[in-house]
Amino acid sequence: MLVDLNPIAFQLGPIAVRWYGIFMALSFLVGSWYLYREGLRRGLEEDFLLNLAIIVIISGVIGARLMFVLANYPTWFLTDRIQIIKIYEGGLSWHGGLLGGFLAGWLYARWKRIDVNQLADLVVPGLAFGYFLVRIANIFNQEVLGRPTDFWFGRWPAQVIGSAIGLLLLARYFYVQSKNPPHGYQFWSFIFYHQVLRAVIEETVRDNPLDVWGYIVPHWGLGFFTLTQLTTPPVLLLAYYFMWRSRRAARVRYRS
C-alpha cells in the first residue's frame, strides 16, 4: 500500500521547496563538512577542500541527471529539454553521480598534485549518508517502489531497504576507519559492498524493468535481472582490484 505523502515541504511564494531537495542539500552539507574537517586534520589547504567540495557536488549532480535521462528518457534531449533540469522532482542516477563526481574530483586533485586515494576515502561518509537520506526522499516522491508481493505488506519497502543499506555502510566506514586502513581502501570497499547489497537485496525487490533472462517470483515479489544486477560483476571486479592494490601498496610501504 502506498502512503499519500506531499513531496512539497513548504512554499516560498511561487517557489515550492521539496523534501527531495532538502534531503539532498543536507547530504551535501554533511558530506562537505566531513571532507573539510578531516582534510584540514591531514594538512590539506582550506581553499583546496572548499573548491573540491563544490566541484564534486556540481559534477555529481550533472552526471547523475544526465545518466538518468539517457537511461530512461533520452527523447527529452530532443522534445522536452526543460525537463532535464527538473532534478527537484527526483530522477538521479546513483552511478552517474558517482562517476561524474569522481572524475571531476580526480582531475582537480591530480592538477593540484594531491593524493586522490586519500581524498576518495573522505567522501565515503557523505556518499553513505546521502544514500540513506535520498532513499527517504524517494518515499515522498512516490518513486523507487518495491515489487508487489502476496505478503501482508503488499509491496516491498524498497526505499526503506535502500536507506538501511546507506546506514549500514556508514557504520561500516567508521568501524573500518578505527583499524587505520590504507589510503583508497575505504572508497573502493564502499563501492564493492554497496554494489553487492544493492544488486542482491535492493534491486531484487525493487520494481525495476527486467532485462535479458528476466524472471519474477510472483508470490515473493522478487525480480531478476535488472540492469544494475547485470552490470554488477564488472563493478565488483574493478572495486576489488583497487581494494587489493591499496592493501598491497600499504604492505610495500611497511616493508620498506
Q: What is the pTM of this model?
A: 0.90
Residue-level pLDDT at 254:
60
Residue-level pLDDT at 43:
94
Residue spans of the domains in the chain: they are 124-255
Which of 108, 127, 88, 102 shows the shortest CA–CA distance to 7? 88
Q: pLDDT, tens digit, for every residue of 46-96?
A: 999 999 999 999 999 999 999 988 888 888 888 888 888 877 666 788 889
Beta-strand runs (E) in 185-233: 215-217, 222-224
CA pair distance 19, 8, nearest whole angstrom: 6
CA pair distance 112, 229, nearest whole angstrom: 36
| Phi, psi angles (nearest 5°) of residue 217 | -90, 100
Q: pLDDT, tens digit, for every residue of 184-236?
A: 999 999 999 999 999 999 999 999 989 878 889 989 999 999 989 999 999 99
CA pair distance 185, 242, nearest whole angstrom: 7
C-alpha cell at 155: 509491496
Q: Residue ranges of the alpha helices (H) in 85-226?
A: 94-112, 116-122, 124-141, 158-177, 185-197, 203-205
Which of 204, 209, 206, 199 shows the shortest CA–CA distance to 239? 199
Q: pLDDT, tens digit, for every residue of 134-157?
A: 999 999 988 889 999 999 989 999
Which residues define the annotated binding site?
135
